[in-house]
A = this chain, B = another copy of it.
């Protein structure tokens, strides 16, 4: 394929809002709703404070909100800060077919410029769908094997932001191709950053780089002609879909955004089936933690391999301990961000359940399934076999679930009333004359 970059650019600029079906638009809305929740949940992290302390003094005109805070900064810094916040809790969206969290870099860039441009909500949604589409199409799906040092969300995130912002800015095809080219040469992000603040910074950096790339291209700043397919281009450097021609296949009916999924629990995705089963047992049978005698899990082998940690000592470790996750779910009847605090990690009731819990790997069990058995002290035996965890592609979170997730994450940041107003606008964003209203509602 000789002309991928230019063809892709042309496809982006030639797609009209009416070309995108309602299913894709609704999937986009759900992705953006989920992203706002993640941002509100992450915005009080130390890393956001450190970022604003370091770079805030160099901000340009205050045209955009740092969501969840009272601060206003320039759009580039806002995109950086908000995409960073949205990634901190590892609670963001996941494409069902690849290790990619597509929403953050795209949504952050769009929301950052919405406030100063009076961007119609319909146009924001349209641009978001295109940005996500570009990210997913150019990613080498082998990243799922984690064979590369790259952090996939970051490498393609700048492309998504550039395509989305470029759409909003009305770039012509040549400019769009430059924007993609400038983004290509800024593609970066190492997985080695995991466990440090630099990991969530990657998502922010990608968003900022894409936003800048589109703005440069709008001012006739040129990029390479063959940024993707050229011999020293993005696909050569970062790996390529097996058939690069698929990057420019017709997209009128099948949009990647519809494959986006949302986590119900802020912990390793392989723990979710067991957590979900435990919560269902707890809700159905309403037992107290003290009434529990023993707990036994049957899970897919990879669940124990990745999250078989017995005694987590930090929130980050607890997210990767299926034993903590299930114990906390059984004790509290829920598993949100607070259930990963040190208080909960050290709660004697959690410790008692966690340490006595049996974990068995079942090679024939699908990765999306789990079995949880709870024996109560009175002899009652409870058991739940779960086929698909909530939040998976087969059993997606409902819109109401997503709203509840946002409310829960916004707790302590926004008043309940304000959060409800935000959610109402988010679900109806295509009717908003000025999508900048979303950001204005997402600050205390």
Closest chain-B Cβ to A127's Cβ sits at a distance in Å of 19
- Scan residues 235-260 of chain A and give those whose CB is less than 8 A from a CB of chain B: 236-237
Given contacts A184-B192, A192-B227, A237-B150, contact A75 B58 (CB under 8 A): yes
Contact status B192-A230, CB under 8 Å: yes
B219 near A54 with CB under 8 A, answer: yes
A417 in the interface (beta carbon within 8 A): no
Evaluate contact between B216 and A50: CB separation under 8 angstroms.
yes
Are B193's CB and A223's CB within 8 A?
Answer: yes
Given contacts A192-B224, A236-B149, contact A218 B185 (CB under 8 A): no
A49 vs B225: C-alpha distance when bound (angstroms): 21
Query: Among the listed B53, B196, B233, B236, which residue makes an inter-chain contact with A222, where contact means beta carbons less than 8 Å apart?
Result: B196
Q: How far is the CA of A74 from the CA of B55 in the complex (A)?
A: 11
Q: How far is the CA of A224 from the CA of B201 in the complex (A)?
A: 12
- Partner of A185 from the list B51, B188, B195, B221 (CB cut-off 8 Å) is B188
* List of B residues within 8 angstroms of A231 by Cβ: 149, 192
A47 at the interface (CB under 8 A from B): yes
- Which residues in B have their C-beta under 8 angstroms from that of A55? 212, 215-216
Whole-angstrom distance from the CB of A235 to the nearest CB of chain B?
A: 9
Residues of B within 8 A of A314 (CB): none
Question: Which of A51, A197, A198 has the most C-beta atoms of chain B within 10 angstroms of its own C-beta?
Answer: A198
- Is A134 interfacial (CB 8 A cutoff)? no
A70 within 8 A of B: no
- Contact indicator B182/A219 (Cβ below 8 Å): no
Expressed in whole angstroms, the Cα–Cα distance for A58 and B51 within the complex equals 18
- Residue A105 lies at the interface, judged by CB distance under 8 Å to chain B: no
**Which B residues lie within 8 Å of A190 (CB)?**
184-185, 187, 224, 227, 232-234, 237
Selected contact of A57 from candidates B54, B61, B222, CB within 8 Å: B61
Return the contact of A197 from the options B46, B51, B75, B221 (Cβ within 8 A): B221
Query: Are A198 and B181 in contact (CB-based, < 8 A)?
Result: yes
A75: B residues at CB distance < 8 A: 58
Nearest CB in chain B to that of A64: its residue: B58
Check if B184 sits within 8 Å of A218, measured CB to CB.
Answer: no
A261 at the interface (CB under 8 A from B): no
Q: How far is the CA of A268 from the CA of B189 in the complex (A)?
A: 32
User: Do B212 and A185 touch (CB < 8 A)?
Assistant: no
- Tell me which residues across on chain B come within 8 A of A58, comparing CB atoms: 60-61, 74-76
Number of copies of chain A assembled together: 2
A188 to chain B, nearest CB (A): 4
Q: Interface size (A, Cβ < 8 Å)?
A: 61
Question: Which of B61, B191, B223 is within 8 Å of A232, CB to CB?
Answer: B191
Answer whether residue A435 sits at the interface, using C-beta atoms and an 8 A cutoff. no
Given contacts A59-B60, A212-B55, contact A185 B189 (CB under 8 A): yes
Tell me if A205 is interfacial: C-beta within 8 Å of chain B. yes
A residues 26-74 touching B (CB-CB < 8 Å): 46-47, 50-51, 53-55, 57-61, 74
Query: Are B237's CB and A223's CB within 8 A?
Result: no
Q: How far is the CB of A79 from chain B (nearest CB, A)?
A: 11
Residues from chain B with a CB closer than 8 A to the CB of A265 are none
Inter-chain CA distance A60–B281, complex, in Å, is: 55
Q: Using Cβ atoms and an 8 Å threshold, which residues of chain B touch A194?
A: 224, 232
Cβ of A218 and Cβ of B187 under 8 Å apart?
no
B57 adjacent to A221 (CB under 8 Å): no
- A-B pairs, top 10 by smallest CB distance, nearest first, are A191-B232, A149-B237, A58-B60, A188-B188, A54-B219, A192-B233, A192-B230, A149-B232, A50-B221, A192-B232
Kindly list chain B residues whose C-beta atoms are within 8 Å of the C-beta of A288.
none
What's the minimum C-beta distance from A101 to chain B, rounded to whole angstroms? 16
For A220, give the chain B residue with the smallest CB separation.
B50
User: A340 contacts the other chain (Cβ, under 8 Å)?
Assistant: no
Which residues of B sit under 8 angstroms from A74, Cβ to Cβ? 58, 60
Are B205 and A181 in contact, CB atoms less than 8 angstroms apart? no
Per the 8 Å Cβ criterion, residues 152-168 of A in contact with B are 154
A226: Cβ under 8 A from any B Cβ: yes
- Interface members, chain A 193-211 (any B CB < 8 Å): 193-198, 201-202, 205
Complexed CA–CA distance, A395 and B230 (Å): 37
